[in-house]
Amino acid sequence: MEVVDHIGDEKELAKQVLLANDLDDPMIISAFTWGRTIIRDFISEHQRLDSISFSPKERFFISLHKWTDTTNMIFVNGAPELLLSWSDVSESEKGEMRDTIETLTKQGKRLIGFARKEVNNTRKTIEHNDAKEGLIWIGILAFSDPVRLGVKEALDIAKTAGIKTIVITGDYPKTSEFVLSELGMRVDSHEIMPGAELEKITAEELAGKVKTIRLFARTTPDQKLLIVNALKKNGEIVAMMGDGVNDAPALHQADIGIVVGEATDVAKESADLVLLDSNFSTIVKAIEEGRSMFENIRKIILYLMSDAFAEIIVVVGSIMLALPLPITAVQILWINLVSDGFPDLSLTVDPKRNDLMKEHPRNPKERLVNRWMMTLIGTVSAVAGLLALTSFVILYRTTGNIVLARSFTFIVLGLNSLAYVFSVRALMTPFWKNHLFENKWLVLAVGAGFCLQIAPFLTPSLQQFFGLTHLTFRYWITAIGLSVTMFFIIELFKLAYRYRKSIRLLR
């Protein structure tokens, strides 16, 4: 941010910005830097006697300084339109200055007005009312506040992701409109609400209007809380950004309070998220990361639950058929903890989908394991369990060899889960749309799981420990064939779900 224009006497403006400041805001700091280029050794001559810090509600800063042997000077910096109304300037001059203010704001400039008045040197303190009459108008400083690189792209991504951005600012509406136009956010007049209008409506009226308002201009920090409450009343999930002490109530009330790294300690204590790089694009990236984490959690739950219930179906089914157990406890543990353990872990680091930010936010009331997930878990479990149980029943009744039947059931259950993990990885999209080798850890994990699944068959001692027997090539081909069948059954289910969902949307 830097001073790019001034209206009024350059030296008088420089004197005022050097003396009357708290140096607690980027605009004030840039004004001070500009003043130093005009005048150098000046501050020590005029001691500050008293000051009142800038208040977003009052919208001005006031300070009292020694000036001459007989007088002191009250300096007032703040909203140009306020200082102009309190100054002894003719109406025609005020009209010209208001036109200048409008021209500058249309160019996207941020403005600070300057005025002053002399008082007797007996005055040692000041009050707010000292600024509100009898001021001598000095002029205006105009600042450029360029849009940060990457913000426009981040806002475009947020819009595509179904995230609505509402701007709340203390700047003039025209200044804000200019900045938003640079960001590709063009707003109509009915989408803008000044703070003065906001003061006149009730909370119920605001809840109705906030659905269409995209820009709140010339607002005070306490009005942010009203806007947050109105949005939440409409059932919105609200992420609120701020940095000042007065923003703390709104930050606390929002579902997610966000502050920049330079925010006040009070604001940071009220917030949920601190942006160390003070970059809006970081928020968008965090949303994408959150969506990816949520999706990966669902994949893990689906994979583990499907595997577990398939084994339950096999065991319970054999009991209901009054048959020996198709699989022993040690075999179940080996499948769950060893051969399936690595694929399960690899799903936690599954890369983000490319189209993740092209989807609208999910309903916050939606459960982690929702209805379609329960249906998919039930389908996968039933198909995998029944395939394994049917294989056991056929083999046991045709051969009468319980060890052979258990060995085949063991390998069918193990290979099934290693096959359908690739389908589970793409929850509701075809597996080929997500590159097979995009998650290299999953490929390695499935390879390791396959090796661990066949490991108990390699030596007589391991076969004896697991209660297994040697399987011929025919059995291995059959088990692999059943696993591939299982994989395509899940893909068909996902296809049916997508078709049903598309029909429902068309209706």
- The CATH number assigned to the domain holding 415 equals 1.20.1110.10
What is the domain range of residue 254? 151-282
Radius of gyration of the chain (CA): 35
CATH code (residue 95): 3.40.1110.10
Domain endpoint, select from 222, 248, 282:
282
- DSSP alpha helix (H) spans, 20-110: 26-38, 80-85, 91-106
Domain endpoint, select from 282, 298, 315:
282
Residue 256 pairs in a beta bridge with 239
Amino acid at 274: V
Structural element, H or E, at residue 368: none
Convert 161-205 into a string of H (helix), E (strand) and C (coil): CCCCCCEECCCCHHHHHHHHHHCCCCCCHHHEEEHHHHHHCCHHH
pLDDT at residue 124, rounded to an integer? 92
For the stretch 277-322, pLDDT in tens is: 888 899 999 999 999 999 899 989 989 998 899 999 999 999 999 9
CA 154/CA 455 separation, integer angstroms: 50
**Pair 118, 232 in one domain:** no
**Pair 266, 343 in one domain:** no
CA 218/CA 197 separation, integer angstroms: 10
What is the percentage of the chain residues whose pLDDT exceeds 70? 97
**Pair 223, 82 in one domain:** no
Question: Can you give the pTM of this predicted structure?
Answer: 0.77
**Pair 118, 173 in one domain:** no
**Pair 328, 404 in one domain:** yes
Domains of the chain: total: 3
Amino acid at 49: L
Tokens of 90: 């003719």
**Pair 246, 303 in one domain:** no
**Pair 380, 240 in one domain:** no
Domain endpoint, select from 117, 144, 171:
144
For the stretch 56-85, pLDDT in tens is: 778 899 999 999 989 999 999 999 999 999
CA 409/CA 337 separation, integer angstroms: 17
Residue 65 pairs in a beta bridge with 48, 73
Three-state secondary structure call for residue 373: helix
Q: Are 326 and 408 in contact (CB under 8 A)?
A: no
Q: Which long-range contacts (CB under 8 A, 24 or more apart) does 432-438 make?
A: 434/353, 438/351
**Pair 25, 75 in one domain:** yes
**Pair 260, 174 in one domain:** yes
- Lowest-pLDDT range of 113-117, 141-145, 272-276, 355-359: 355-359
Phi, psi values for residue 220, rounded to 5°: -105, 155
Residue 459 burial by Cβ neighbours in a 10 Å radius (0-12, 13-18, 19+):
exposed
- Lowest-pLDDT range of 68-77, 95-104, 243-252: 243-252
Measuring CA to CA, which residue among 282, 270, 332 is closest to residue 307?
Answer: 332
**Pair 115, 239 in one domain:** no
CATH code (residue 263): 3.40.50.1000
**Pair 303, 278 in one domain:** no
Does 470 have pLDDT greater than 60?
yes
Tokens 């000077």 sit on residue: 73
**Pair 183, 313 in one domain:** no
